[in-house]
Every structure is written in C-alpha cells, then in structure tokens.
A and B are shown apart, each in its own frame.
Chain A
Amino acid sequence: DIQMTQSPSAMSASVGDRVTITCRASQGINKYLVWFQQKPGKGPKRLIYASSTLQSGVPSRFSGSGSGTEFTLTISSLQPEDFATYYCLQHNNYPWTFGQGTKVEIK
C-alpha cells in the first residue's frame, strides 16, 4: 500500500496567517491527490482534487499544488472557520490511502 505522510501533525496559527501543510507519498501518484477538511462531529469535506483543482463552493484562499510524491495545501489567510483537521488522500493505487491528518488550532 502507498503510505501518505503529512506534516506537521498539528500546528497553532492566528487568523490571517498563511498556512502550508505538506503531504508526501511513498511512491509516485501523479496528481491523484485529494485534500479534505474535517470538523468535530462531521464527515470530511472535500476541498481540492487532482492536486490543485478547487472543489465547487470552496473559498479561493485554499489552494493545492504538487505532483509525483510531494504535495502542499495552502490557506492564504486563515479564517476562524478554517480551524479544523486536514487530510490528504491518494487514489493512484488501490487501496486509496489517507495521511494521518494535520490539526490546525488557534494560537
């Protein structure tokens, strides 16, 4: 199975900060990478697919980049509603596998 490693596991940030989360794959996955946001008590919400395509309805402060084995999710100006846990998912090889998550907390 392909291993997905996210960094950092957790971070503290302030409203207005630029936040970058990294996801590394144990082997190349082209651009078959999805980013999710999850808030307590809810199912994950898809933010970005195909590494960099924004899901309809998702604010433009979210962006994604990367291909092969290294990917990033960037929030250009953190808003109060963005405090949550973020996950990456690869779907290049079955079984699809997730990163372990990055919790973004209020500083």
Chain B
Amino acid sequence: EVQLVESGGGLVKPGESLRLSCEASGFPFSTYNMNWVRQSPSKGLESVAFISTSGDSIHYADSVKGRFTISRDNAKNSLYLQMNSLRAEDTAMYYCARDCMTTVTPYDLWGLGTLVTVSS
C-alpha cells in the first residue's frame, strides 16, 4: 500500500527540541521530492519545508528558518524534521507530503499527521 506514516510528535516546553519522522512505503521514495506541512486552528495549512530527491535543494518557511532542519535517508525510506527552539506558535499537526514528479505538482500524497504541542 502506498502510504506515509508520521511519528515523533508530543508535548514539549518552549525552547525544547523534537524530531519528527515520516516513513514511506509502497513507492520508490528516493525518486520523490518531499515536504513537511503543518496545520493549526490559528494559521490553517502552512508549507514548512521542502527537500529534493537527493537533498541538494532545501527550502524553509521564514517562520521556521534557522530553527528547523529537514533531512532524508533514502536507504531507510524516511523523511525527518528536526525542530529546535520550539515556540508556542509551532503547535500544530505536522504532515509529511509527497510531490508528484510526473506532473511536477505538489502534495499528491499525505500522511495522517503527528501532533506537536508546545506549552509550558
């Protein structure tokens, strides 16, 4: 089955760190660009980070630049998001999302998400 499964979310205090993981299955992960997208009641859906197939092209939203790091391990079919210096406004559901490489269009497959809560 083609799917993405996120993990690693939880409750942390402001200033702490968290590492999210996304495990892909059912498709050739190494041939797809990947993304993290988050969703909160206050800000809605927000593109957080992008990484190309080999990791040589990476983009971040201004709101997380310098604090979050996206990475991937193609041998493990896995995508990661290292989140440092977390703030209350980072509280959200975090989704892993795949880009469609044949049509060069974004987010054709999503996971169920993992919830991150930043609160003292």
> Which residue numbers of A lie inside 8 Å of B, CB to CB?
34, 36, 41-46, 49-50, 53, 55, 87, 89, 91, 94-101
Q: Chain B contact residues: over half helix, strand or loop, or mixed?
A: strand
Could you count the A-B residue pairs with CB atoms below 8 Å apart for me: how many are there?
A: 52
Hey, which chain A residues are within 8 Å of B44, CB to CB? 87, 98-101
Q: Top 6 A-B pairs ranked by shortest CB distance?
A: A43-B110, A98-B45, A49-B105, A96-B47, A91-B106, A95-B47
What distance in Å separates the Cβ of B93 from its nearest Cβ neighbour in chain A? Answer: 9
Binary contact track B34-63/A, C-beta < 8 Å → 1, others 0: 000000000011110010000000010110
The answer to whether A50 and B103 touch across the interface, beta carbons within 8 angstroms, is yes
Known contacts A43-B111, A43-B112, A97-B47; A91/B61 CB under 8 A: no
The residue that B110 contacts in the complex, of A41, A44, A53, A55, with Cβ under 8 A, is: A44
Judged by a CB distance under 8 angstroms, whether B95 is at the interface is: yes
The answer to whether A42 and B61 touch across the interface, beta carbons within 8 angstroms, is no
The answer to whether B95 and A91 touch across the interface, beta carbons within 8 angstroms, is no
What distance in Å separates the Cβ of B116 from its nearest Cβ neighbour in chain A? Answer: 15
> Which residue numbers of B lie inside 8 Å of A, CB to CB?
44-47, 50, 59, 61-62, 95, 97, 100, 103, 105-113
Hey, which chain B residues are within 8 Å of A45, CB to CB? 110
The answer to whether A95 and B105 touch across the interface, beta carbons within 8 angstroms, is no
Interface centre among A42, A43, A53 (most CB of B within 10 A): A43
* 29 contacts across the A-B interface (CB closer than 8 A): A34-B105, A36-B107, A41-B112, A43-B97, A44-B45, A44-B107, A44-B110, A46-B107, A46-B109, A49-B100, A49-B103, A49-B108, A50-B105, A53-B103, A55-B108, A87-B44, A89-B106, A89-B107, A94-B50, A94-B59, A95-B61, A96-B47, A96-B106, A97-B47, A98-B44, A98-B46, A99-B44, A100-B44, A101-B45
New A-B contacts (12) at CB < 8 Å, excluding given A43-B97, A96-B106? A34-B106, A34-B107, A43-B112, A44-B45, A44-B95, A49-B100, A49-B103, A55-B108, A89-B106, A97-B47, A101-B44, A101-B45
